[in-house]
Structure 1
Amino acid sequence: MTSIQAVTYPIHFEEKAYDELAKIIATKNYSSIFILVDDNTLECCYPRFMQLLNTNKPIEVIQITPGEVYKNIETCVGVWNAMTELGADRRSLLITLGGGVITDLGGFVASTFKRGIDFINIPTTLLSMVDASVGGKTGVDLGVLKNQIGVFANPEMIVIDPEYLHTVTPREIRSGTAEIIKYGMTHDINLFNQIKDNPELNIVDLIHRSIEIKNEVVLEDPKEKSVRKVLNWGHTIGHGIESYFLESDAKENLTHGEAIAIGMVCEAYISHKLLGFPKEKLTDIKEAIIAIYGKTNLLEDDFTPIFDLMKHDKKNVGGEINFVLLNDYQNFKIDCKVQNQLIKDSLEFYNL
């Protein structure tokens, strides 16, 4: 796969990426290297990474507990303390080896430690490869509220090695696929068509194009002042659902992609009602999403708490919930205001 140049950093793929990683470590002459992992990536990904990492620099491994519930300031404090005790300085490098929690949290840790040290993202899940690790967003959750604390900070480079996908479950692959579907609906319908028309598709074939799309959007709008908001398609309602299931003792947690998939169905319904998004395409989206992700049971009693959590979405201004909606595939509109009743109608539509 051809390397992609982001605004200040390259994205390298497969074996070539490790050669480029060795070059940057040698060129920058880091004093020490810290590798942030969780329990899963330490066991499943770290051995491969160490086989391919070519450096004589001293290396320390910092391990955290896996899971979205640990993507918080408390975990950051633990990592900051560990780095301090292990002698990290402003010339140290932090390498994040893991999924979206690791790359989001690790980037935030690095960008704030001693007012900022270099970091390199090595995503190991599909979700982190096509979305979380790319674009310069770092951060952690505030309670169940997604990504409320963070900064924009770019890595020195990103390594995309699809071999790590052999270490994750089919459910996690489906979770990451939701972000590829998002890119398909908003920018390249061929991606969505390939996914829904070919159950045996090798999803690796869609990674490069997905990263290209995200990078193009970020280059145009790095700080999400305008067009970058399109990357939140499905996320306004989806994040509300994800947070609600995360905080509810009566619900089994949803993956990020499962929640975003529901969000895309609901927001396609709102798009149909407000912007005339074609009804046959709305039906197509709902059928495809349910075929891939199954049906999640949303009770009417769930609607109000989901809506309340949506009020904390980062795109909101002045207490108003802002949506990205579709006029049609590859034709979107940002900063759309939606009445509360229509949001609830969209959840009911998903349930039908």
Structure 2
Amino acid sequence: MSALFEPITLREVTIPNRVWMSPMCQYSAEPEGPAAGVPHDWHFAHYAARATGGTGLIMVEATAVSPEGRISPYDLGLWNDTQVEAFRRITRFLAAQGAVPGVQLAHGGRKASTDQPWRGGAPVGPEAHGWQPVAPSAVPFDERHPVPTELTVDQIGEIVGQFAAAARRALDAGFEIAEIHGAHGYLVNEFLSPHTNHRTDAYGGSYENRTRFALEVVDAVREVWPEGKPVFFRISATDWLQDGGWTPQDTVRFARDLHAHGVDLLDVSTGGNAPGAMIPTGPGYQVPFAARVKAETPLPVGAVGMITEAEQAEKIIANGEADAVFLGRELLRNPSWARQAARELGGEVRVPDQYHRSV
């Protein structure tokens, strides 16, 4: 059997194969009013297509734990029950196709309140549905972004509570896996990295202090998430900075901490926290970071980053570099990538009865 198409069980959840969909924002929700943050027909069609295409795990895009936690005003959210009901339609369909529904819980931090990417992605103010972003320290992302408001200790505690409340709603909405977004320069990542965390209190300075917020979020989510269901954590394994940033060594150390706090898989990406970082991209360029965590810690890992070919993905799993691969842009280009890869590798995926003529 193809290693890529072997099932994997984490806690009590079995995922039918190792081809997983990366969380990718669609920036397509309504920005204000009763429908703010609510998934609609676009989101249903988007995720349904990948499930019918054989993808084993559908990780829904960064879903904000509060209105101010959205990356853009057009992001999805899980801060009210209207959103929960709309998500149920999606999770029911994904599960009916044999895919496992997961959701990434997120807070945008200093990179919040930006426009849709196809409109330039610049920061937006109240006149364009925007707001004042917050961060661990009053350090802007770049010259275009406003100086964020530095969070107080009480506000940090409130955000931890928002992650827990969003996790409860995610469970009610039918999700089987909750992923905490700790990557790409958003709030959790901002606390982790000395590049963005200049605090001098219990949430800044030492490694233990900088990881405190992330672990408090993990503990809060794990407390409300059922024992039999997995929690993932997405991390940027490096800031790609020569000095003063988060490093691969930090990631290995933190992976051990996450495992001790009940995280079941590390979704390993890189970058996004320092706009001037030089990143040497290429096919599978982030896989070695996942492979190192897998080799040096007990935590299962997912690999991501320019994984496009079936044979490439198969080797990553067969060689023990990762336990699964997350596909992003390739699944945007080809929603049926998993089904085609199974045919190429001699694996099997569930094919809807309506699509059997395509086999």
Place the TM-score, normalised by the shorter chain, in its bin.
under 0.3
RCO higher in 1 or 2 (8 Å CA, sep ≥ 6)? 2
TM-score, normalised with respect to structure 1: 0.26
Q: Which structure shows the bigger proportion of residues in helix conformation?
A: 1
